[in-house]
Amino acid sequence: MGMSFSYGVPKDKNAMIALIRAAVERGVTFFDTAEVYGPYTNEELLGEALGPVRGNVVIATKFGFRMKPDGSPGWQGLDSRPEHIVEAVEGSLRRLKTEVIDLYYQHRVDPEVPIEEVAGAVKRLIEAGKVKHFGLSEPGVATIRRAHAVQPVAAVQNEYSLWWRKPEEEVISVLEELGIGLVPYSPLGKGFLTGAMDANVKLAANDFRSTLPRFTPEAMQTNAALVELLRAIAAEKHATPAQIALAWLLAQKPWIAPIPGTTRLERLEENLGAVAIKLSAADLQEISQAAAKIKIEGARYPEHLEALTGR
């Protein structure tokens, strides 16, 4: 997402294609995008970058927003009507230069469209060979169950990290019960858990983090306590804070696959290094107990965006 959308000025296309291909060369096989990222330009980027290796990778994309007619960033509202899903999948297939989408998520639950109708529409796309698997992003547990009864849900994509642990309250147990994978987005807290940000960071006006309560200077100053915890554990493990944050997620369940984003090769390699870090049960208990004592300051989203989650 950050290559094309939300994190300041979109990055150089050729440089990002080279980075995506470098990820494949290093063993990365799962790539996540959405039609709203741009809009559309991130899917086009992935389509061009992954075309030569399409058979070796899994591509996930998302539907469910109604774009602005002029193609400018942002969206007009939610739209998961079955007829819109049929239109959206054709656009995504074309931009991704592929005949099938491996994992097709509803980006946010649309309260105007029964989830059974959404699941049924994706089921028909699966039967038609245009989609392989159905996913949901930021759904509530009742929605997960209702959708799964119509078309098995392969994966749920929710924010989940050491500074946003709400999925532990209900979602993770339901996913385990139903055999659904969890794909944590923002596993590095939108960059904060890397340790590269502090209260003195000045975010650009076109960086969406500048609109998030958790990224005010006051909140970042308070939340630095969590980064210091990660630094301390990282020092013991000869790792970085980002690697500990990712290793913690990987250690939670074998069916959790976090999707850290980056636009820099050195950060890609740092993230991949998390796979080699093994956290023992004692390590995990120490981290959880220490993290539980740290009160995170600030909501993760403004109210109007938080309202789109957990339905």
What's the pLDDT tens digit per position in 70-104? 888 888 999 999 999 999 999 999 999 999 999 99
Q: Which of 139, 159, 179 is the last residue of a domain?
A: 159
Assessment of whether the complete model's pTM goes beyond 0.95: yes
DSSP assignment of the chain: -TTTSSBSSPPPHHHHHHHHHHHHHTT--EEE--TTTTTTHHHHHHHHHHGGGGGG-EEEEEE-EEPPTT--SS-SEE---HHHHHHHHHHHHHHHT-S-EEEEEESS--TTS-HHHHHHHHHHHHHTTSEEEEEEES--HHHHHHHHHHS-EEEEEEE-BTTB-GGGTTHHHHHHHHT-EEEEESTTGGGGGGT---TT----TTBGGGG-GGGSHHHHHHHHHHHHHHHHHHHHHT--HHHHHHHHHHHH-TTB------S-HHHHHHHHGGGG----HHHHHHHHHHHHTSPPPS-SS-HHHHTTS--
Q: Grade residue 194 by pLDDT with cuts at 50, 70 and 90.
A: very high
What total number of domains does the chain contain?
Answer: 2
Q: Which of 7, 37, 40, 160 is catalytic?
A: 37
Q: Tell me whether residue 37 is one of the annotated catalytic residues.
A: yes
The reply to whether 81 and 25 lie within a common domain is yes
* pLDDT attached to residue 70: 85
User: Residues 269, 122: one domain?
Assistant: no
Structural domain includes residue 179: no
CB-CB contact of 133 with 104 (8 Å): yes
Note whether 148 and 232 are same-domain residues: no
**Boundaries of domain holding 309:** 188-253+261-311
pLDDT of 275 higher than 90: yes
pLDDT tens-digit series, residues 51-62:
999 999 999 999
Residue 7 sits in the same domain as residue 92: yes
Point out the domain boundary residue: 107, 142, 159: 159
Residue 308, domain CATH:
3.20.20.100
